[in-house]
Structure formats: C-alpha cells, structure tokens
Chains A and B, each alone.
Chain A
Amino acid sequence: MAYFIQLVFAGVALGCIYALIGLGFSIIFKASEVINFAQGELLLVGAYIVSAGVFALHLTFFWALLLGIAGTVIIALLFERFVMWRMIGRPVFSILMMTIGLGIVLQTFVIWIWGSNPIPAATPFGVTSGFNIGGVHFGTNDIWTIIVTAVVCAALFYFFRFTKYGLAMRATALDQEAALAVGINIRTVYALAWGIAAAIATIGGVFLAIDSFAIDPTFSSTALLAFPAIILGGLDSVSGAVVGGIIIGLAQVLTAGYESRFANVLGAGIHEITPYIIMILVLLIRPYGLFGSRKVERI
C-alpha cells in the first residue's frame, strides 16, 4: 500500500509538471489557435538560464529564476512579434512547422552555448530532501511542484476571470473578429499569451530539472508528453490541462511502478508510451477531450 501511495504521490507531482507545460500549450492555443511545438525548447532554455544564473553568475536562486523567466519571455515575445504574427491565416502545416523550426534552433543554441553534456540543476533546496510518513517518502521538490502548480493555476484563474486583459484573452479565444470589433488589441492578447506560456514553461523546466538532478539538451522532448495531457483535457481548456496532466502523470508513474510484474507480456518501457495510448483512446471516443469545447472539425 505504501508503494501505491508513493507512486500516486510521485504521479501527481509529475502530473503537475505536465500540467505546467500543458498550461503553456493551452493558453497559446486559446488565444491564437496555434499549438506551440517549441514549448519544450522554451522550457529547456529557461532551465538552462536558471542553472547558468546560479552556477555561472552566482546569483541566488530567486534572481536566477527571474532571469530565466525574463529570457524565455523575451524569446517568446520576439518570436510571436516577428514570426508568428506574420503567419496568421497560413495553413496549419506551416504554422506547426514554424514552431518546430524555432524548437530546433533553440535546442541547437543551447547545445552551442552550454554543450551537450548534462549540467546540474539549480535548486533552492536539497534535491534529495524530504520527509517520511508511514514508509512513504515525500520529496521537497515534489511538494513544491504541487504547491507551485496550484499557485500558478490560482493566479491564472484570477487573471482570466477578474482582470481586464484576462477578459480580453477570453473574448479573443471565443471570437477573434468580435473581439477586434469591440476594440480589443489582439496584438497585446497574443503577446500576453506567449509571454505567460514562456514564463510557465520556465517554472516547469526548473522543477523538471530538479526532478532529475541535471539537465541536458534532450530534455525538451519531455514536453511532448504534455500533448497527451492537453488532448485529454481538451486543447482549449485551462483546467483541462491540469486535470489531463495529473491523469497522464499518474498513469505513467503507475505503469512504470507495476510494469515489471507484467514484463513478459508488455516488454520493456511501456510507461513511455502509456500517455500516447491513453491519448489515442480518448481521441477515438471524445476528440475534443474531457473539458474541451466541441468544435474540433471532423470529416
């Protein structure tokens, strides 16, 4: 039982990281109907800047985090302003490839600047610290991940529900032309969406890095596992991203925890693809996800 609870705890913590990444996807998608495939690379750049800030520039963790957020937000805003803005109205294929292109460039720049060997993760607390209750280990990192995800979600909820720009973003997501007609500045909305997504990506990246003690350039592929999460939750649903993320995290950790008992049937490494299998099943039954709006076009 302790093992099961341990797995559930780890799954929720991992799910929160997916949720943070997924939030970035769904905020951009909500505002501009674009899935940013470079979200993983923004996360990578953020985590690297934070690590470099702590270990190379000898900043405190807090300032390094701010530096990382500033760095990724600037990249995202520049990309949005000078590239994505010009892609409006172009085919999905082009837009998707554009973000993949950005991802490739960012990842290569990371290799260029920091090399392809892992570098240690920056952390404000001991990476192995934590406490035990009844044989279950609660890692400090996991607890902070869950707390920060909750705080980010609350902040986003407040932002979308009660602020002027949050309202503008919701209006744009609902109907872009109507939003334009009532005088909402779409440019600001798009920039906000990309900025928020980049900031959240950095936070997710820092936790993901602490989770595995070190970062290397292949890290960005973890963000791909947030796709199942957002599809599960519904692409345009912010709360869906969180629920989807936690479900995917749980499913992945639980399969990883128990798969060795079924190794002769399942073979090795099924936990790496459980998220995708769940996603495909969901797409077969509810293509718009659990919380998404039913406007996915189908043939």
Chain B
Amino acid sequence: MSVSAPARKSPIGAQPPRLLSSPSRWISVCLALIVVIVFFVVASEDWLTIVNYTLIAAIAALGLNVLSGYTGQVSLGIAFFMAIGAYTAALLGGTPPSSPGDPLGFGLSFLIWLPAAGIVAALVGALVGPTALRLKGFYLGIVTLSLVFIGEYIFLNARGITGGPQGRTFPVPAIGDFSFDQQNTIFGVTLTPGQQFFLLILPILALSALFVYNVMRSRAGRAFRAVRDNEIGAAIMGVNLFEAKMGAFILSSFLAGIAGALYASYTRYVIPDNWNLVLSIQFVAAIIVGGIASIWGSILGAFFVFALPQVIDHFSLVPPSSGSGGLTSGDLNALIYGFLIIVFLLFEPGGLIGLARRSQALLRKFNRHGGEGGEPAEITDLPSASDAQRDVGDSAVTRGEGA
C-alpha cells in the first residue's frame, strides 16, 4: 500500500473526446442505447419511478463528485444545496396561495424555475464558499455538516416558502399545457408520467455529465485535480486555489440545486426534515461506492445507494418490519452501504469503476496475444481516467500492477 505518493498521470484532455473511437465502443454505445430504449418501453411504472429517482440522485452525486472527488474538498452539505434548489423551484413555480397561510408561489414556468433552482443554489454556494473554503479537511467536513443543521432550522421556520414542519407541495414540470405528470399522447404514442419524466430527466443527466466531463478536460478541471492532489504544488504551478475551490463549490451547488428541484417536483410533497444529514451521507456513500472522480462512478453509485432499497422493497426481500428487532429495507441498505464504504475505501478506492477498469485491464492482459491487440487507448477514453486515492494509471494497470 503506497503512502500518498503523488499520482503521475498522462496529460488529461490531450486528445479530443472520442465517444465512438473504435468498433467495440460502437457496440457498447449501441448496446447501452438498446438497453435504455427497451427499458423505456417495457418497464412498469414502478420501475420507471425507481429509475427516475435514481437518475435525479445521479445528478446530485455528479455535483458532489465535482467537489469531493475531483477537487478533494470534503462536503457533507449537499442536502442543504438540494433543499435550496427545491425551495427556489417551489417559490417560483408553485401555485399562488389561495388562502392566507399557504406557502408562497409565483406560478412561473418550468423553463424558468428549473434553471433558477440551479442558479440560486450556486449563488448560495458562492455566498457560503468563502467562509467554508478557508478551512480544509475535517474542519470543512464539520462546517458543511453544520450547514445542513442550520438549513433545517431555517427551512422549518421559513413557513412562507417551505410550509414549515408540515411541508409543502412542489410544482409539476409543465411546458405550456404539456404536464409531465399527466398521460399525454405525442405523435400518436401515449406516454405514461413515468416515461415522460424519464425522457425529461435522462437528457438533463446526460447534459450534466457531458458538462462535467468537458469541464474536467479544461484548464479549470485540471486546476481542480491539481488542488486535490497537492495544494502547494498547484499554487506554485499558478493555480489560484481560491478560484479553483470556489469554482468547484459553485458547480457542485448548481447541480445539487437542479437535482433538488427535480426530486421535489417528482415527489410533489416534501417536508424540511427530508433534507438531513443522512441524505448527504448517502450521496458521499454513492460516490465512494461508484467511483471517486468518475462520471460513470457517480451514476453507478447513485443506482447502488438509491435504487437498491427500492429494489429490495419491490421484491420483498426483507419481511416487513415487525416492531422491534426487525431491520427495514432502509436499515438493511444502510448496513450494506456502510460496509461497502469501508470495504471499497480499504480495497478499491476507485469504487465500482475502479473495479471495472481493473478487470478490463486484466481481461486485456489475458487476451493480449489474440488478434490485433485490441484498443490500447481505451482506458484514457473513459470519462475519467483519474482516481482520487491511487493512481490506477494506464501503464500500471496494463502491466497488471494496478494493486
């Protein structure tokens, strides 16, 4: 086990993105598309709901990965920024109060409140950032943690916006007369609400992922990673530490805000207690299990942490809790991801993605003598070849020294 040797990496972003660089890439992209389409057509409304929630969670996980994974700043405050996004959406898009005492709402369009949710969350991030980012490591963790508690207090008391302890309803995404929670017929095809949300959320996630991917290949993204790997080194190389950290913080808050707004509008009704520390920790668990500093890792991790309990519930793998002594599926899930955090951090800090990469490399080594030699550059083509804790660098892996 190496002791924090600074990771050497090939210049990131040296090549343009090559989504369809090779025949095997073609095949995997087509396969993924087919899976998505088949799922979309075949899946029941229940399954669509599970997947939709998970896709929303993946957006927030992506945001957290920008801050914690790529830039190395500990954050337990993502629930707070999701809440900011959600309440911005509620305030701007909610139905105007019909009787005094109802939470406020301006009834604006979805096309306004969704971006606004991200922007306001980003602004709050920019406001909190200078204080929080003066600190690092455990201090930053504790400050972001306190943000969640202070947020809960504010949300409980800002009844006009949040509805107080009873919570409030959230606006449904709707463009003109097209409301995503009604059954609609487009071009002769009747779509269920679940399918429509799927069609809404998946592109947002894809756009966010593409955006993060491109930021990480840019000067800013390289600065983020430099800050993570060695702050002093980064500063000497001319990286403005404050700017880099603030950039990551703001981008992360933006994505969290979007995810929070989507989550609240999909649930329709949220109480302030929902935005708690457990939610934050679940997201951190998601990026650790999925893969730190990896886009696919954020998405995979979100599936693992957020879809798993639903799937367990769906198949009734756990008998319904009988008073004391029983574990609910939520508890079981907590146990699983608690263990996974420990196991992954100990044995595979790259998460599921790291595992996949390693097995891919092993496979390639196994097949080295067959055929044309495959696609030697494939690993660098993955959304991120970087790894927070350990250099799973290409050469090391292909030589089979990844451990």
Mark A residues whose CB is within 8 Å of B.
29, 35, 37, 83, 86-94, 96-98, 100-105, 107-109, 111-117, 221, 224, 227-228, 231, 235, 266-270, 272-273, 276-277, 279-280, 283-284, 287, 296-299
Contacts and interface: CB of A to CB of B under 8 A. Distances in A.
A280 B147 CA distance: 10
Nearest to B335: A108
Given A108-B335, A299-B241, A83 B138 contact: no
A85 to B, nearest CB: 10
Interface string B338-355: 111110011001000000
B327 interface: yes
B54 interface: no
B156 interface: yes
Given A91-B228, A267-B153, 8 more contacts: A93-B292, A100-B341, A103-B338, A112-B325, A269-B156, A280-B143, A299-B134, A299-B231
A105 B342 contact: yes
B135 interface: yes
Nearest to A34: B138
B38 interface: no
Identify which of B142, B231, B338 gathers the most chain A CB atoms within 10 Å of its CB.
B142
A227 B327 contact: no
Interface of B: 1, 3-4, 68, 72, 74, 131, 133-139, 141-143, 145-146, 149-150, 152-153, 156-157, 228, 231, 241-242, 245, 277, 281, 284-285, 288, 292, 323-327, 331-332, 334-335, 337-342, 345-346, 349, 388-389
| Interface of B, helix, strand, loop or mixed by DSSP | helix
B156 A227 contact: no
A126 B3 CA distance: 53
B342 A102 contact: yes
A202 to B, nearest CB: 21
Interface centre among A29, A228, A297 (most CB of B within 10 A): A297
B143 A112 contact: no
Given A91-B72, A280-B146, A101 B341 contact: yes
A167 B53 CA distance: 54
Contact of A228 (B1, B146, B325): B146
A101 B338 contact: yes
Contacts of B149: 224, 272-273, 276
A287 B139 contact: yes
B4 A89 contact: yes
B153 A272 contact: yes
Contacts of A96: 74, 137-138, 141
A231 B284 contact: no
Contacts of A283: 131, 134-135, 139, 143
Given A104-B335, A105-B338, A89 B3 contact: yes
Contacts of B281: 100, 104
A287 B327 contact: no
Contacts of A297: 136
Contacts of A97: 284-285, 288, 341, 345
Nearest to B276: A221
A104 B133 contact: no
Contacts of B245: 299
A298 B337 contact: no
B132 to A, nearest CB: 9
Contacts of A101: 285, 338-342, 345
B301 to A, nearest CB: 12
Contacts of A113: 325
Contact of A111 (B131, B228, B331, B349): B331
30 contacts: A83-B346, A88-B3, A89-B4, A90-B349, A90-B389, A91-B72, A92-B74, A92-B138, A92-B141, A93-B68, A94-B389, A97-B341, A101-B342, A105-B335, A105-B339, A107-B334, A108-B327, A112-B325, A112-B331, A224-B145, A227-B142, A267-B157, A272-B149, A273-B149, A276-B146, A279-B142, A280-B131, A283-B143, A299-B133, A299-B231
